[in-house]
Amino acid sequence: MVADSFEGPEKKLEIAVTPGAPSLRSLGHAFWREVVAAASAQVLSQIANEDCDAYLLSESSLFVWDERLTLITCGRTRIVSAAEHIFTRVSPADVALLVLERKNEHFPRRQPTSFREDARQLAERLPGVALRFGREHTHSVRLFHSAREYTPEPGDTTLEVLMHGICEETSQAFSTGDLAEARATGVTEVLEGFQVDDFVFEPAGYSLNALRGRDYFTFHVTPERVGSYVSFETNADLGGDPEPLVRRVVEIFRPESFDVLSFAPAGCEVQEPSVEGYRLRQRVEAGVCGYAVSFLHWYRPPREPTGPSEISL
């Protein structure tokens, strides 16, 4: 995470296997390192508990439970190549759920593949549907999901807070190579009782994985001057009210804008968060594989005019 124009917005792959399928954790650490390498990333460190193995990567994170996995990659990674390597040991017939997400990128022409190419390749393995949450050519998440019927467990929720244009003061805390300075922002304490594994990149950038039983949370910070970006994600049970956590996360980074993407079992009531100083611009909702999926885009109105930027000739 050192280039001046590093691609912070991420790709995400989630796979759940059918009851009776072999445990994903039983495939072993060496296999999951191969999966990460197939995506053109590396494992930096690892923590584990009785429920989950969490791998901190050179480009984001991998979480593996017995019956499901979540792989998040940034930069110029090839996440579908990782999926193809998974399928060498996990039969598509044993896949109960597959979801691919790609956030709108800052530098899409530098990516080795497009979302459409990724979705088409996965659809050859598992027929599915491609959707876009949000407007084209602006803040959005493109999502491919398998077409198989799926019923999530009660409490199976995910919250993502995706932030663009973080404030300069907080950006500096993640641009010194000092782990203590990065932690002083409060990122390790947004949820209590978690085992934390984090890493500060040279000259800039930060990643964090945290585990508590089956729950996780993760941060990935790209503080570059061009295209600064932060992602936060958790599956912790927030009791249907994500607002206090969303506020804590947003207040650390004070971004120019942020998106909230949430998954909750259909019929589960989830309150819409609100953060002081921001206005809601987009709201998109849909049912996906037994989940109610919500995409919200928030922006901070300018307080005063700014001047133009000079263009080099």
The domain limits of the chain are 11-299
HEC profile for the chain?
Answer: CCCCCCCCCCEEEEEEECCCCCCCHHHCHHHHHHHHHHCCCCEEEEEECCCCEEEEECCEEEEECCCEEEEEECCCCCHHHHHHHHCCCCCHHHEEEEEEEEECCCCHHHCCCCHHHHHHHHHHHCCEEEEEEECCCCCEEEEEEECCCCCCCCCCCEEEEEEECCCHHHHHHCCCCCHHHHHCCCHHHCCCCCEEEEEECCCCCEEEEEEECCEEEEEEEECCCCCCEEEEEECCCCCCCCHHHHHHHHHHHCCCEEEEEEEEECCCCCCCCCCCCCEEEEEEEEEECCEEEEEEEEECCCCCCCCCCCCCC
Report pLDDT for 8: 76
pTM metric for this prediction: 0.95
Report pLDDT for 1: 41
> pLDDT averaged over consecutive 10-residue blocks of the chain (313 residues)?
68 97 98 98 98 97 99 95 98 98 89 95 98 94 97 96 96 94 97 97 95 98 90 96 98 98 94 95 97 98 87 90
Report pLDDT for 135: 93
**Could you confirm whether domain 11-299 is CATH 3.60.90.10?**
yes
